[in-house]
Amino acid sequence: MTETPPADGAPPYQQPTGRLSDARRRDDNVVAVVGGKVVSEPPRDLYIPPDALEVFLDAFEGPMDLLLYLTRRQNIDIEQIRVAEITDQYMQYVELMQTLKLELAGEYLLMAATLAQIKSRLLLRQPAGEDEEADDPRAELIRRLQDYERVKLAAERLDELPRLERDLHTVHAAKPELVRRHAEPSVDLKEVLLALGDVLRRAEFKQHHAVEFEGLSVRERMSRVLARVGADTGFVPFDALFDPSEGREGVVVTFLALMELVREGLIDLVQSRPFAPIHVCAPRAQADEPNAD
């Protein structure tokens, strides 16, 4: 997470230092340390702008990683890549990052322009008698994707090798008996972002002109989600928690509320299998408590 620039005329935000923990050892009423001064209670006129906090999600390592993921998601060989479909999905992800106010690196925009150029060249008719394989606009992109995939797989294999002080430790104790449990497949952050993109696209068709501004609270939406999850005995579909009639703002607020609840351990996101629909449920530890009794 990067530092959010302050609003016009507002003082710059200062990152808390380690002095706060030292001050709390001396006084339990300490709230913060600002400019070297101990603050025991928040100011009454404290105001935090709505745009002061932003969420940054780095799901992909770069544009080639995104393209490789989209290709694998279609279960097709790299040499059979469908540039038109991949370009549309790539641009949807770029628009999603812009909607969430995420900073886009220049390499993402450069790859978007490259895909658009390849797509336009494929739409043009080839002159009669010209060898299409010798002048395939996708050739360079396919070569780069294949090189990146080889390097990525090699890096993953190297990372899986045992490392001293990470996977191997010198111990002098008896090995404890561990009870192994079958863990449910974890939800990939990339799947959450793509599911959010689908909800945002459906919300575009439900937008209405609103004269009065209604402020949406992330905390209020967190309470609503907890009530919904607690009322249902099973699993709540991920997209069922969104109301497309609220527009993009409502969708983003609901998404931030879900991410905060997941971070606090109040809900879980689960999938029955990879690429399956995402569901929201109560934490597994809480769900197992009645069975344990």
The structural domains of the chain, with segments of one domain joined by +, span 19-47, 63-123+137-159, 189-292
Distance from the Cα of residue 262 to its chain's centroid: 12
Tokens standing for 207? 């937008």
Instruction: Give the helix/strand (H/E) hosting 107.
Output: helix 106-123
Cα–Cα distance, 179 to 177 (Å, whole number): 7
Instruction: Give the helix/strand (H/E) hosting 183.
Output: none
Give the number of other Cβ atoms within 10 Å of residue 15's Cβ. Answer: 5
**Tens digit of each residue's pLDDT (9 = 90 or more) over 160-181:** 888 777 777 777 677 777 777 7
Cα–Cα distance, 49 to 13 (Å, whole number): 12
71: exposed, middle or buried (C-beta count within 10 Å: 0-12, 13-18, 19+)?
A: buried
Cα–Cα distance, 38 to 106 (Å, whole number): 42
What was the pLDDT predicted at 259?
Answer: 92
Instruction: Give the helix/strand (H/E) hosting 31.
Output: none
Cα–Cα distance, 126 to 112 (Å, whole number): 23
Amino acid code (one letter) for 25: R
Whether 68 contacts 149, CB under 8 Å? yes
Alpha-carbon dihedral sign for residues 127, 130, 131, 135: negative
254: exposed, middle or buried (C-beta count within 10 Å: 0-12, 13-18, 19+)?
A: buried
What was the pLDDT predicted at 48?
Answer: 56
The CATH superfamily of 189-292 is Structural maintenance of chromosome 1. Chain E (1.10.10.580)
The DSSP call for residue 239 is: G
Contacts of 121 (CB under 8 A, 6+ apart): 137
Whether 232 contacts 96, CB under 8 Å? no
Give the pLDDT of the chain (293 residues) as one tens digit per residue.
334 444 444 444 444 444 444 444 455 566 566 666 777 776 676 655 554 444 444 467 788 888 888 888 877 787 888 888 888 888 888 887 777 656 666 777 888 888 888 888 877 756 555 555 557 778 888 888 889 889 988 988 988 888 777 777 777 677 777 777 776 767 788 888 888 888 888 887 766 656 565 577 888 989 999 888 887 667 889 988 898 888 888 899 999 999 999 999 888 899 888 888 898 988 875 555 544 34
What was the pLDDT predicted at 20?
Answer: 45
